[in-house]
Amino acid sequence: MNSINNTATTVQHQAENGKNEFIHRVKILNLPPHEINSTKRLLQNHGIFKFKKAPKWEYAFLNYETEEAARLAMSKLEGVEFKKKKLVTEYSKVSEKAFRSRFETKKKKAEDIVEIDTRTPTEKLADQVTPLYKVPYHDQVAKKHKLGARYLNTLRKKVHALPEINDAGKEQIAWTNTLEGMDCEILDTIQSPDINGYRTKCEFTIGKNLEGKETVGFLLGLYRDGITAVLSSDECLHVPEKAKEIAKTMENYIRGSDYDVYDRVEKVGVWRSIMTRTQRTGDIMILIQMNTKELSDEQVNAEKKKLVEYWNKSDINATTLMLQIWNGDSNGITDKGTTEILTGDGYVYEEILGCRFRISSSAFFQVNTPATELLYSKCAEWSNINESKKTTLLDLCCGTGTIGITMATKVDRVVGIEMIPEAIVDAKANALMNNITNVQYYASKVEEKIDIVANEKNEEVVAILDPPRNGVHTSVIRAVRESEQIQKVIFISCDAKQAMQNFIGLCRPTSNRFKGLPFKPSRAVSIDLFPHTDHCELMIEFVRINQGTTEIKV
């Protein structure tokens, strides 16, 4: 690791002589990677001559003997513009003993140093659930654009490095030879219309805060790390005000309850979780989870009545109230529990691009409605649907049918395939509700039903693939490859790193295992559905390559 680390040696020497109990550390954020010399010049211009920065780091460390010296350095650097970004500084104290131990053993990594965390609980939670909350939004957008471009280049490199490729195969992937040869347009990131309070679905933990008081909010860390304290979501930027109000209303109920909150360690107690859906239409779903292992049927029934009475009298005006009984060890809302509707019909409704959709408690539905409309609009635009031609839209992993239904009036027919039967039930209901009659849905694995287009008479077949976070099984990709009618695939990924093998499967040369001509990426765009977080949707258009040439079919 290339680093400038004279300060560490100085501090170590002083620590060994017993002068310091702590090392006062300043972390400088928003530095460009690999810019060691320019960073050095910047700091020298501000009277700082010793720092630590590895080439790939987007941050650097300064070490001082006193807090006053550290704070002075922070005052010099905070907000300074460098390479079109404003620097951000953070202060922490490092145990002298742990710091010295690192240099004595020369084996521990920098992350092993025990730091005394000086953040407030609110800051800790914000760093956990919205880690980019300190970063200006335009910088968040730029970071996600850069990350999308990096994933495309990674795809190019990985396809290019595939082993044992014959000459015909090399010709099929000639586009991977150079970055310029890739010829993939990367559009500017599409920003979220709403930056704060955008999450329509929130799942809160019920537990006790740092003072031991019953609280509805988020765990202040990972449970597997032994964290059980729960902090209120009042300061969380991505949680809407209505969801915060529901959480506080539930918190008041629990604090007056005869039953205790669930203890994740001892596995006793009643109140476990609450999930909210607060849609743009004004519909509100509340799902409360209880552990009833120690309660009689009479006690459970009495509590149901109390819950109904309480929420009916509240100012929330819930569209539907539900209760989930879950006595298992795993935490969080789960489809393994028994869910019962207490009031309403068990659904809320949302509107996207003029279409109305019903949402059940277990259904997947994008959590940022305005940004989702931008995503689906761009998806329709890329489909290049020519109304003069008969077109079939394959909505693969269709879920509740949102994408296909919003595009149904522009195509001859829609074929939706989804392996979760309950989602297909919702999709059919949504199509009926929107008077969509040119759609067919199949509760099946994609690879078992995709042959429905084998004898397709329509002139164009466009496949849209919007899979879960971890992508789809290789068999799905192989089935798409083998369906010659499919000349374009629009892949929507919420985690491009996990979906990378799917991308490679679409693009790798023809082989016994991957039959059919390969695809290549022709354009890509990131759509920010999750401001203040590292997550982003990446949409890539893949087009089929002609045999024996890198020319693509469109």
In DSSP notation, 468-507 reads -TT---HHHHHHHHH-TTEEEEEEEES-HHHHHHHHHHHH
Question: Rounded distance, CA 203 to CA 288, Å?
Answer: 10
Question: Rounded distance, CA 497 to CA 506, Å?
Answer: 15
**Taking 90 as the threshold, does the pLDDT of residue 193 lie above it?**
yes
What Å distances lie between residue 189 and 9, 53, 294, CA to CA? 43, 29, 51
Buried b or exposed e, range 301-324, using 16+ CB within 10 angstroms: eebbeebeebbeebebebbbbbbb
The domain made up of 22-109 is a member of CATH 3.30.70.330: yes
The arithmetic mean of pLDDT across residues 237-260, rounded, is 97
The pLDDT of residue 378: 95
The pLDDT of residue 410: 87
Active site residues: 494
* pLDDT one-digit tens code per residue, 254-286: 999 999 999 988 899 999 999 999 999 999 999
Q: Given strand 519-527, what is the order of strands in its sheet?
A: 185-186, 519-527, 537-544, 486-493, 460-465, 391-396, 413-418, 439-443
454 — pLDDT class (breaks 50, 70, 90): low
Element (H, E) at 128: helix 121-129
Residues of the chain above pLDDT 70, percent? 88
Farthest CA pair distance, the chain? 84
Task: List the binding residues.
Answer: 366, 418, 466
Question: Rounded distance, CA 493 to CA 497, Å?
Answer: 9
**Taking 50 as the threshold, does the pLDDT of residue 3 lie above it?**
no
The structure's pTM equals: 0.78
Q: For the domain covering 201-352, report its CATH number.
A: 2.40.50.1070
Question: Rounded distance, CA 508 to CA 158, Å?
Answer: 9
The pLDDT of residue 314: 97
> Looking up tokens 């987007």, which residue turns up?
58
* Ranges in the chain annotated CATH 3.30.70.330: 22-109
Task: List the binding residues for S-adenosyl-L-methionine.
Answer: 366, 418, 466
For 330, other C-beta atoms within 10 Å of its C-beta total 8
* pLDDT one-digit tens code per residue, 155-185: 999 999 999 899 999 999 999 998 888 889 9
**Taking 80 as the threshold, does the pLDDT of residue 554 lie above it?**
no
Question: Rounded distance, CA 100 to CA 115, Å?
Answer: 13
The pLDDT of residue 550: 47
* pLDDT one-digit tens code per residue, 47-69: 898 888 888 889 999 999 898 99
**Taking 80 as the threshold, does the pLDDT of residue 1 lie above it?**
no
* Ranges in the chain annotated CATH 2.40.50.1070: 201-352
User: To 10 degrees, what angle do helices 496-507 and 474-482 make?
Assistant: 30
pLDDT, averaged across the chain: 88
**Topology (CATH level 3) of domain 179-192+368-385+399-544:** Rossmann fold (3.40.50)
* Ranges in the chain annotated CATH 3.40.50.150: 179-192+368-385+399-544
